[in-house]
Chains A and B, each alone.
Chain A
């Protein structure tokens, strides 16, 4: 493998969502890895560099916004995207603390999802 492909970590407790996200991003030039909960996601981040994290909001253990806040503090180079059905329910201070690069509505729009991750990978 000539050049290392950027790593995109997808976090969701619903396997079907992870599979669907993989399908959408199949043709994109990333290495896709997944985690089923925030703890697993943090373990992955400790083991290897990740360019972009795309996380669901409602998960057992910790919420997506809490996970992204931790990541912002510990891995500031990793871009953070929140994928949630209820963006309006996330309070402004929480959003600021997690310093989100993007917040996407679930169900997502395929083109918008791809575009957002491309932008994060490039930026």
Chain B
């Protein structure tokens, strides 16, 4: 075991430090980890440094001109070290992952996250080095890189059959590496004509393919998005003779993209919703008020009608004109079925009133959905907000659900407490409904677990249930406005989208994990502000 503590060589490409700093924030964060850091401030120097010595990993700040293009080069070069990119914002992270970055750390979280990300990356590199075979050091290193690189790599022969696959390729395709050999690469792209395969041009004409996206069907049938690059192998005579194909799992990247899309969608829907709610509110006001009044009128009228019944009886017993008038009235009463009208009038008004109340609930949800709060944030105790909400909701579910609480000591955070309570209410109601649904199927006793803790510079509130869980297609749409799995009239479909908006408004996040038949956990994360951190 040569566990000699030789420092890992790290190439850091970052802008020069400001005048008052000795090293710059990235170097500062990396230094305590004991890397041998080679610091470059421009791309040319980094290229030269990488060519000269074998850095085990690269940390590249994307503010450096050309850094992203360099990442792509490294991605497509077989023996390049893993790259950790320093990015600004999600868009840049997506771009970096696309360009082959192994990991991304946001500039804003440098001090917090860079050290742990880099040390994870170092372990990866060390494992690779520890296994390097003796003999030809160059070949050994190259084969180790291929085995341990973070991208999937397969080599294809002229016919497009696999002749080599690295472990990541095996993992990504869901089969053992040995079993991949000999198979046609096209088998993992069902439904794609051979001529349309992204590697076909490389095999036939020797063209390079870079950054093509495709859906790959794993051996277990699961489809995942990949980003793929292919380079031609050439025979001694220079003719295309197979290809080297490198591909990455883009699931995380895709998810990030869809979250970005989701955010934009929510913002525009929020505006639309606000406008619609404003317009609906006035007519809703008088429809609802009038229906309530009609019901009151009707109660009075029913009392009158009772009196009239007596009058009718008496009048029929009388003679002459009175009797004739009474008989004519009775005929009309029978013809229009006045007794039924009176009864059904009441039913129709009650049903309409219920409908109006439903619309009113939707408008109210829309209001908080598009809430433009002019109130001020206050420092509040999240535990207290959660607990009081849980206690209210609890009264209606205690007959069927167990509740456990685990609250960490939390500093007060700057928030709109009523809005947070609204989120907790939504999460608790959903948990309860998921439990009820499961109980209806297998009678499993329900449990809701509440947990608060300090995490990632903020407060995390987790609401877990052992309810029915969500199907994947439900999970995809769970934050969509008006998406509901509940019966018509039960949910407005705005609870979770509103909660999502509220989390965003607090600079926080709402996320979840769910498995059908096992349960669901929703996590609300809220950042600490400067004062609460103190």
Chain A residues within CB distance 8 Å of chain B: 14, 16-17, 19-21, 23-24, 26, 58, 85-86, 88-92, 106-108, 110
Contact = CB atoms under 8 A, between A and B. Distances in A.
Given A85-B367, A106-B282, 9 more contacts: A85-B277, A88-B371, A88-B375, A92-B374, A92-B375, A106-B281, A107-B289, A108-B289, A110-B292
Interface residues of B, number: 22
Nearest to A18: B286
A20 B281 contact: no
B284 interface: yes
B290 interface: yes
7 contacts: A14-B282, A19-B286, A20-B285, A20-B290, A58-B278, A85-B282, A85-B363
Contacts of B363: 85, 107
B286 A20 contact: yes
B283 interface: yes
Nearest to B277: A85
Nearest to B281: A85
Contacts of A108: 285, 289
B285 A89 contact: no
Interface of B: 277-278, 281-286, 288-290, 292-293, 360, 363, 367, 371-376
Nearest to B274: A86
A107 B284 CA distance: 7
Contacts, number: 58
Per DSSP, are chain B's interface residues mostly helix, strand or loop, or mixed? helix
A107 B285 contact: yes
B374 A16 contact: no
B286 A16 contact: yes
B373 A88 contact: yes
B459 to A, nearest CB: 24
A17 B282 contact: yes
A23 B374 contact: no
Contact of B374 (A85, A91, A106, A110): A91
8 closest cross-chain pairs (CB), A and B: A20-B286, A85-B281, A20-B289, A107-B285, A23-B293, A16-B286, A91-B374, A107-B288
Contacts of A20: 285-286, 289-290, 293
B283 A16 contact: yes
A107 B374 contact: no
A107 B359 CA distance: 11
A94 to B, nearest CB: 9
Given A106-B281, A107-B360, A89 B289 contact: no
A86 B367 contact: yes
Nearest to A83: B285
Given A85-B278, A106-B281, A21 B289 contact: yes
B272 to A, nearest CB: 16
B290 A107 contact: no
Nearest to A12: B282
